[in-house]
Structure 1
């Protein structure tokens, strides 16, 4: 099976008050906001795009993955069809007409498309880079993302009995485009923006402080991925991460195995363990 090459282009988040949530993202992430049909809002800025739509609090409506070319998109769709994967029409997104979607075993929707972006907006650097989900059946979820989507495993975190508690999967050379956590229920865990270097973590923390947005976790350093991070909560309690210096993983490197403990989640101290 061919490995998928893709980047995270945008995501769609549900909210009972999409206008207020869009205003928060506009201020917190230096985004411009445009109203869309159906009470939705498009939030766009430098290397980052988020759709806020009417819905229940804390819902991830879909994630949109950008393939490197239209030909790659067509070949990927053909491969999925050949393997009997159910291909569905894409919901309204920031892609063109060739976009399509599939659904993972927990009902999370993945939209695939191709777009050429000119990311020259204002604001500090922080590229939308990965997302994370919680699942009650991590083995089933990983089988889907590895075998159906074609992602590669960079690291897993296991408990003493060998059970996988967390997995980090990549669609290129960056350590992960998705993190999958074993959790008490299906959940949207967080979305992450890669700033690139430690000095920008400081600058983003200062920016959040100016807006009276407290850090919910961090500064810290994750074990898997070796990245520096801070995390905040939006008004709907969704977790938003600013990361820096995420590991670049060569294809020949085997997947790493980490202990399920606080130090794995944060080499510097306290960590949130999902299960």
Structure 2
């Protein structure tokens, strides 16, 4: 039986980033994002409670892969069956954070997306709350990306941002009850736009801001509140200029129609100015 990503309860589990200087980048995530790091092949693994990154040598600001975990073996097999039915050519892979049986597909922009069962989280210490929560892609073809993830893999579309002339600019998608754990923005490039960590509540965003200040890392945007998802946010940059979001109070979606938002600053930030991608 084939299953959609939502039926399999897919959530963002880990990311694999490439960098021209993996040592520098992994040291940043270890200190600024409160993770531990260990050697892995030609790079590093950095991880903390529910937040995990693989950082290897390659082109700066490149996404090597994104790992989505699903609830159980039935969900994984059902999602793989759907990918096969839709002609997405799933391939078996081995991932350091997943048990055996993981598979990957490649989207129209060449992004490698891996699905698997989490092999567990051995971190018991309790630093600032911040599970890895969503990935936002940059793409020149939003329609193709939306079709691949929603029709191909069964992610559910929550909201869209549309320009006055009807052109689709942004699409927010979810693999579970969260408003989005995957999104895409129209840009003149491919790859990663940003990735986000879930603070849970406003006070924890404050704690992250204090933590960043102690590490002399300034906010590049925020605090603010997004329209789609209604979440509070702050943004910083890592040494490779990757955008990092810390978010709180993201909408929980049970059953509602897709919302359409105008392409304007107040959509991206109800409180004021926004960084417009296009």
Query: Could you tell me how far apart the structure 2 residues matched to 1:164 and 1:72 are?
Result: 31
Change (3 A) 1:13 1:91: farther
Aligned position for 1:16: 20
Aligned position for 1:219: 223
State the aligned residue count.
273
Change (3 A) 1:167 1:148: same
User: Is the contact between residue 105 and residue 144 of structure 1 (CA under 8 Å) also seen in structure 2?
Assistant: yes
Query: Could you tell me how far apart the structure 2 residues matched to 1:99 and 1:91 are?
Result: 7
User: Is the contact between residue 88 and residue 106 of structure 2 (CA under 8 Å) also seen in structure 1?
Assistant: no
Query: Would you say 1:181 and 2:192 are equivalent positions?
Result: no
Match among 85, 88, 93 for residue 82 of structure 1: 85
Q: Deviations over 1:163-197 (max 9, x none)?
A: 11001001111000111101111131000000100
Query: Would you say 1:111 and 2:114 are equivalent positions?
Result: yes
How far residue 47 of structure 1 moved from its aligned partner, in angstroms, is: 1.4
User: Is the contact between residue 21 and residue 235 of structure 1 (CA under 8 Å) also seen in structure 2?
Assistant: yes
How far residue 91 of structure 1 moved from its aligned partner, in angstroms, is: 5.5
Match among 66, 70, 85 for residue 67 of structure 1: 70
In the TM superposition, structure 1's runs of 4+ consecutive aligned residues that sit over 6 Å from their partners are: none
Aligned position for 1:130: 134
How far residue 82 of structure 1 moved from its aligned partner, in angstroms, is: 2.8
Deviates more, 1:16-25 or 1:87-96: 87-96
How far residue 116 of structure 1 moved from its aligned partner, in angstroms, is: 5.1
Unaligned 5+ segments in structure 1 are none
How far residue 161 of structure 1 moved from its aligned partner, in angstroms, is: 1.1
Q: Deviations over 1:205-251 (max 9, x none)?
A: 0100110001011011000000000000000000000000000011x
Aligned position for 1:246: 250
Task: Give the TM-score, by structure 2 length.
Answer: 0.95
How far residue 69 of structure 1 moved from its aligned partner, in angstroms, is: 0.5
Write the mapping of 1:1-275 to structure 2, written as runs, cut at 5 A: 2-4=3-5, 5-37=9-41, 39-90=42-93, 92-115=95-118, 117-118=120-121, 120-250=124-254, 252-275=255-278
Task: Give the TM-score, by structure 1 length.
Answer: 0.96
